Amino acid sequence: MLKLFVTGGAGFIGSAFIRLALAARPDCQVINFDALTYAGNPDNLTGLDAERHCFVHGDIANRDQVLAALPDDTDALINFAAESHVDRSIVSADEFLRTNVLGTQVLLDVARARGIRRFVHISTDEVMGSLPEDENAFFTEASPFAPNSPYAASKAAAEHLVRAAHHTHGLDTITTRCGNNYGPRQFPEKLIPLFIANALADEPVPVYGDGRNVRDWIYVDDHCRAILLALEKGESGATYNIGARNERRNLEVVESLLRALDKPASLIRYVKDRPGHDRRYAIDPTKIEMELGWQPQETWESGLKKTIQWYADNPEWIARARSGAYREYYARQYGVEVSAR
């Protein structure tokens, strides 16, 4: 039996990871510990095997709640829980420090106290800052830390705490650093689901700055397969960069989405740039490819097709995600109302 304790499992990547782990490992059981913030969505958990998946509502920064929920026969704790949106961290960093930094330390402490065999921490390429627009520069595991947004700084701090827990206390840790994920069930504040949801409703899509920023995109299930592999085969204390060698300028992404949805380019609106906007991310995944034999399974074309199809098939999911507090967020962030569709 493989007993996993997944934090943030009601979010985009955590819920995809739970689906994948339950499907790929018939002997796997998951406790899903999630605070259900605005980004945590019970709709993301529909259809999971109730015999092998147990949801616990709790906050990773609350030591008593984590102590009460984490059994000492857990094989691995996988920490997805985080405040994850750069734009929100620019407005206020408080929750980013509480969850991403303090919450990670609470999990490390409790994992150690409970004797959990392995601690897998899900980090991001953003801890390494921004690359020049030079095709030969890539993030490797040895790249220096240079976080530029409060979100990235909080994730960098969390990584340092994970490293310290390994070095000082001998906790068995793995850290993964991935680039931009896309796929089903991503909250529509991030570029791809936001633009699909807007375009499906024939609303403008807001492109920051000149639209020439580069992101390195990966289909969410490919990221999750890499995490499962690192969890099972990774070297204790190691960091693994995860990327699909798929750099795209934002404008290219937007044009592909509009074309696939048969929507006009006239929906594109250039809006004020994000403060401190990182120019380029690009990951060198050689280490995980060579050491663990990981390879992405989706191409950009196949992943985007599946993603667009999922949102087109799930208008109720989009409508619920875009209701309530989202409408206030959208008006504050973009200065316009989002439609009810």
81 binds, among ligand NAD, ligand DAU, none (CB under 5 to 8 A by kind): ligand NAD
Nearest-angstrom CA–CA distance, 77 and 107: 9
Residue 248 has what DSSP assignment?
E
- Percent of the chain as helix, strand, coil, to the nearest 5: 45, 20, 40
Distance between CA atoms of residues 227 and 176, nearest Å: 7
Give the count of residues interacting with ligand DAU (CB under 6 A): 19
Residue 35 interface partner, choices ligand DAU, ligand NAD, none, CB cut-off 5-8 Å depending on type:
ligand NAD
Sign of the CA dihedral running 153, 155, 158, 163: negative
Query: Should residue 85 be labelled a site residue for ligand DAU when binding is judged by CB under 6 A?
Result: yes
Which is closer to ligand NAD, CB of 29 or CB of 89? 89
Quick one: what does residue 37 bind among ligand DAU, ligand NAD, none, with the CB cut-off 5 to 8 Å set by partner type? ligand NAD
Pattern of binders to ligand DAU over 10-39, x per CB under 6 A?
------------------------------
Ranges assigned E (strand) in 243-333 = 247-249, 268-271
3-state secondary structure of 2: strand
Encoding tokens for residue 164?
């310290």
The residues binding ligand NAD (CB under 6 A) are 7-8, 10-14, 34-37, 39-40, 59-61, 80-82, 84, 99, 103, 122, 124, 155, 178, 180-181, 187
Residue 21 exposure: Cα atoms within 13 Å on the Cβ side: 32
Q: Which of 151, 240, 311, 329 is catalytic?
A: 151
Rule CB under 6 A: say whether 215 interacts with ligand DAU: yes
Smallest distance, ligand DAU to C-beta of residue 137, A? 16
List the catalytic residues: 125-126, 151
